[in-house]
Amino acid sequence: MRSFRYLVVGAGMTGDAVCKGIRDVDADGSIGLVGNEPVAPYKRPPLTKGLWKGGEESGVFLKIADGVELVLGRTIVSLDLDARTARDDAGEEYGYERLVLATGGTPRRLGGDDQSFTYYRTLEHYHRVRAQSDGGERFLVVGGGFIGSEIAAALRVQGCDVTMVFPAEGIGWRTFPPDLARFIVEYYREQGVDVRAETTFESAEGFDAVVAGLGIVPNVELGEAAGLHVDDGIVVDEYGRVEGRDDVFAAGDVARFPYVALGKAVRVEHEDHANTHGRHVGRNAAGANEPYEHLPFFYSDLFDLGYEAVGDLDSRQEAIEVWLEEPYKKGVVAYVDADTRPRGFLLWNVWGKLDAARDLIRAGEPIGEETLRGLAG
């Protein structure tokens, strides 16, 4: 049996950040990092961004913290929390003093399951779709959210024939105000993408390859089988600890955590949260005992448009919009409560204002268009 002071389950961005956080506090404690992919931890955003723009693949791999023992191509399949042991799919057992679950999520599926279907998430998926794009195949992209919009743009920039289908009226419908989401549909059509909004996927007939971006389902099975509290993620406190134990933590995509500034529990799937929450929880696993109060941000590139966003971007909320000169080209959208207090900000082609937006969310004071013009200017 391999034994570690810290066992980190999941060797993605979050797992890597956890190890770095542990090393911030504990320079010598042994760390085991177990992941089911055959490659070392890497950044996921370049899979739909930089690698399609000529970025070197070697640049996606992360520098692992000192002294971490990587175990790749293995999946932890069972935990004995009382015995502080874990077992992988090859039957190997691991002992630990502190356990951190960074198991991430699995893409939602349509039902198609052959080589023409890719549920886009991993470096292997990038290799497959890139090879298909180099072969000039005709693509169907299913999903109009974060991944679907990015991969459709990436494929179109490569000169591929791309069709998008999704059931909503606009791209990013759950995130953006309705008029902006509809504008993006027309913008994508101008870029040569055949966008079929308000359309449900039924068949891949007529296409060479299908890429699905339908979000992820958190990988909670391991924790749930061990008796941990699960509610759209493994429930943790502000330190990343699971309920009822001081030796088990969860971080990143799989963790449902208290979002202090917004006064509710949430689960966040973006890069900034993976890195900051992972590192914070790693520090706490090593004894730092620091509450997580960060407001994570996310960003995207949609052809020549781009944005940064922070807080709760739910299109069902009321929104205040300020656009400079031409609508939907540059501006700020504030998502507000009934008292016009900000819950989130969309900074559309506006850069370097994330900290100012965070300060406004934390202040919790009513805002108006003048405040947004200050952010946008």
Q: pLDDT tens-digit profile of 207-219?
A: 999 999 999 999 9
Average pLDDT, the chain: 96
> Which of 374, 360, 369, 359 lies closest to 321 in space, CA to CA?
369
Element (H, E) at 69: strand 68-72
State the pLDDT at residue 115.
73
Contact 241, 248 (CB under 8 A): yes
State the pLDDT at residue 114.
67
pLDDT reading at 111 higher than 90:
no
State the pLDDT at residue 113.
66
CATH 3.20.20.70 fits domain 109-212: no
- Highest CATH level, class, for 304-376: alpha beta
State the pLDDT at residue 208.
93
CA–CA separation, 373 and 111 (whole Å): 46
> Which of 217, 254, 248 lies closest to 233 in space, CA to CA?
254
Topology of domain 2-106+216-285, CATH: FAD/NAD(P)-binding domain (3.50.50)
CA–CA separation, 62 and 45 (whole Å): 13
Banded pLDDT at 56 (limits 50, 70, 90)? very high
Residue 63, amino acid: K
- Tell me the per-residue pLDDT of 3-14, one tens digit each, with 9 for 90 and over: 999 999 999 999
Contact 310, 297 (CB under 8 A): yes
Hey, CA dihedral for 267, 273, 275, 277, is it positive or negative? negative
Question: Which residue spans of the chain are classified as CATH 3.50.50.60?
Answer: 2-106+216-285, 109-212
State the pLDDT at residue 377.
82
For the entire predicted model, the pTM comes to 0.96
* Dihedral, CA of residue 334, residue 340, residue 342 and residue 344, to nearest 10: -40
Residue 276, CB half-sphere, CA atoms under 13 Å: how many?
16
Average the pLDDT over 125-147 and give the result: 94
State the pLDDT at residue 112.
62
CA–CA separation, 46 and 290 (whole Å): 31
Banded pLDDT at 31 (limits 50, 70, 90)? very high
- Tell me the per-residue pLDDT of 302-338, one tens digit each, with 9 for 90 and over: 999 999 999 999 999 999 999 998 899 999 999 999 9
> Which of 118, 162, 114 lies closest to 136 in space, CA to CA?
162
State the pLDDT at residue 373.
95
- Tell me the per-residue pLDDT of 262-287, one tens digit each, with 9 for 90 and over: 999 999 999 999 999 999 999 999 99
Contact 208, 131 (CB under 8 A): no
